[in-house]
Structure 1
Amino acid sequence: MSLSVKEDAYWSRDARQLLAEPGSSEQGLSTELAGERLSAARQRSLRSEPDRQALRLFAHQFRSPLVLILLFGALVSLVVHDWTDAAIILAILLGSALLGFSQEYRASAALAALQRRLALTVPVLRDGQLVTLPADGVVPGDVIHLSAGNLIPADGVILEARDFLVTEASLTGESFPVEKRPGIVSPQAPLGQRTNCAYLGSSVRSGTARMLVVRTGRDTAFGAIAERLAARAPETEFARGVPGDPGRASYLRWRSASPTWG
């Protein structure tokens, strides 16, 4: 079974089995094997989609049928020279669209800011040699070295640790650092109790460790949050009748992005 399969409770398995499955070892991947995996890993990266551009986001505010009807009404008012009604309708539509755009643009900007945090380098074992690579060059099966101050570039299991404390507040809400060490954890353990794993989006507070990369990009716990932030929740019949309501958009986005750990 591939290590990138989300149903695989890798935190409950022996590290030696995990090292054997992807063709990795204590000395890391070979350059050739890593190159083969890199293209597939980049297809699942956390980069922004083109449709998140500002103009597209603004144009999206006018897709509602009710908005199109009101626009048609405004055009009719202009044709018959009813300037007052046309101005009122257009002002309401523009204000509503701007408010909706503001909410979605801020959410997209927040997601982009999270992604920019991942623009880091990491020491990786390749062909038995420790080399420094961009974080987006890490693939499942890599063995990486982590130390105090590092941002963790992927999800994985700890192979070796020394006084290794990790801050996971962005994932679990726990403000205090958590000690990570090698071992096996129950398959039912929630994310916050997987003391043998470290996750993308967390940071190293102190100590050093070696970690086997298991999941990257969208397959990580952090990636699941990013996908829920980017996804649009299905609109109800009521929602379709309220164009550009920023409060509704914010609530639906919050509900769709709220993680359930376990």
Structure 2
Amino acid sequence: MKIEAVAAELRTDLERGLTATERRRRLQNGPNILDSRRSSALLVFISQFADTMVLMLLAATLVSAVLGEYADALTIMIIVILNALLGFAQEFKAERSLEALQDLTAPMAQILCAGEIKLAPAAELVSGDIVFLKAGDRVPADLRIFNAASLEIDESPFTGENLPVPKYEDGEPYAYMGCLVTRGRSKGLVVATGMRTQMGKIAHMLDKAEQQPTPLQSRLSRLGNTLVILCSAICLIVMVAGVLRGEPLYKMFMAGVSLAVAAIPEGLPAVVTLCLTFG
């Protein structure tokens, strides 16, 4: 699509840019920033215990302590804490990936506003803005370039390739947020900002991947629910059988709980978390 057609679609003037009033109106659609879901370190750590299998292990720790099996209780507690620390490290690593994307965004941008060249915060860019690029600049938003002169851009944040990519109006007319201009100069028409940019889509996928459990975690959760049912059934069967034989209720209850605790695979959550963290 020709630059004139893109400008007409975005209702902007290539010679004068947007007016200040129009820029303020369009900014109501949202700032040019990458949103990320941030949680406090304490909440992230506490959330590691909100799992069926982990709750079973905590219950097993309590029961072992009540039965006087302090060594078993300590061992299980160490496993639970280790699992929580590993899970915390995994989530912290994912949040750092989002922060790394935010570090690639430009703080300021040179724009054309009502015929005047101004320096504006990149967070205030809107679709239809005219941006000036030169060597050393970070691309502040997704741009349709025009009037380019020997323009080359490092697109390694997207492609992984360190070689700069030449940009031409007829061939490669787009520059993406977070990429570095290594050579030349150009004007650019903002076509997407914030989470609507290509980098914003990557940030959204990272955030979505962080929130959704993996298939292995889903299976582990189902296994935990199954074990809760089985352990409860074991405890009930042992209690009923013992009482029918004339054994004291308290004694049979503790025996059933002991068997249920023995059936719990204490090391499984830690092993799974290790695989997800380092695999």
Q: In which range does the TM-score fall when normalised by the shorter chain?
A: 0.7 to 0.9
Shift of 1:238: 2.7
Residues 1:212 and 1:95: Cα distance change in structure 2 (over 3 Å): same
- Residue matched to 1:23: 11
Residues 1:22 and 1:208: Cα distance change in structure 2 (over 3 Å): same
Q: Where does the alignment leave 5 or more consecutive residues of structure 1 unmatched?
A: 1-12, 186-194, 252-262
- Residue matched to 2:192: 215
Find the partner of 1:169 among 156, 162, 182: 156
- Residue matched to 2:265: none
Q: Aligned ranges for residues 39-118 of structure 1 at < 5 Å?
A: 39-42=28-31, 45-51=33-39, 53-118=40-105
* Farther-moved stretch of structure 1 (105-114 vs 152-161): 105-114
Contact 1:45 1:216 in 2 (8 A): yes
Q: Which amino acid aligns with 1:248?
A: L
Q: Tell me how far apart the structure 2 counterparts of residues 78 and 130 of structure 1 sit (CA, whole Å).
A: 72
Q: TM-score, normalised by structure 1?
A: 0.80
- Residue matched to 1:142: 129
Find the partner of 1:200 among 177, 188, 201: 177
Q: Tell me how far apart the structure 1 counterparts of residues 84 and 68 of structure 2 sit (CA, whole Å).
A: 24
Q: Which has a greater percent of helix?
A: 2
- Residue matched to 2:269: 243
Whether 2:26 is the aligned partner of 1:33: answer no
Shift of 1:250: 6.4
Q: Tell me how far apart the structure 2 counterparts of residues 56 and 224 of structure 1 sit (CA, whole Å).
A: 26
Secondary structure of the structure 1 residue equivalent to 2:92: helix
Q: Tell me how far apart the structure 1 counterparts of residues 106 and 50 of structure 2 sit (CA, whole Å).
A: 35
Contact 1:171 1:201 in 2 (8 A): no
Identity level (%): 34
Q: Tell me how far apart the structure 1 counterparts of residues 220 and 198 of structure 2 sit (CA, whole Å).
A: 30
Q: Which amino acid aligns with 1:30?
A: T
Q: Tell me how far apart the structure 2 counterparts of residues 129 and 250 of structure 1 sit (CA, whole Å).
A: 53
Q: Tell me how far apart the structure 2 counterparts of residues 55 and 128 of structure 1 sit (CA, whole Å).
A: 50
Whether 2:2 is the aligned partner of 1:14: answer yes
Q: TM-score, normalised by structure 2?
A: 0.75
Q: Which amino acid aligns with 1:109?
A: R
Q: Which has the higher relative contact order, 1 or 2, with Cα contacts under 8 A spaced 6 or more apart?
A: 1
Report the structure number with the largest CA radius of gyration. 2
Contact 2:136 2:182 in 1 (8 A): yes
Residue by residue over 1:95-121, the C-alpha shift from the partner in whole angstroms, topping out at 9 and shown as x without a partner, is 011112112212212321321332511
Number of residue pairs matched by the alignment: 227
Q: Tell me how far apart the structure 2 counterparts of residues 250 and 30 of structure 1 sit (CA, whole Å).
A: 52
Q: Which amino acid aligns with 1:98?
A: L
CA RMSD of aligned residues (A): 1.9
Shift of 1:229: 1.6
Whether 2:202 is the aligned partner of 1:225: answer yes
Residues 1:250 and 1:122: Cα distance change in structure 2 (over 3 Å): farther
- Residue matched to 2:111: 124
- Residue matched to 1:188: none
- Residue matched to 1:190: none
Q: Tell me how far apart the structure 1 counterparts of residues 45 and 86 of structure 2 sit (CA, whole Å).
A: 10
Q: Tell me how far apart the structure 1 counterparts of residues 203 and 123 of structure 2 sit (CA, whole Å).
A: 16
Q: Which amino acid aligns with 2:2?
A: D
Residue by residue over 1:55-108, the C-alpha shift from the partner in whole angstroms, topping out at 9 and shown as x without a partner, is 222122122211111111112223333211111111001101111211221221
Q: Tell me how far apart the structure 2 counterparts of residues 249 and 39 of structure 1 sit (CA, whole Å).
A: 40
Q: Which amino acid aligns with 1:59?
A: I
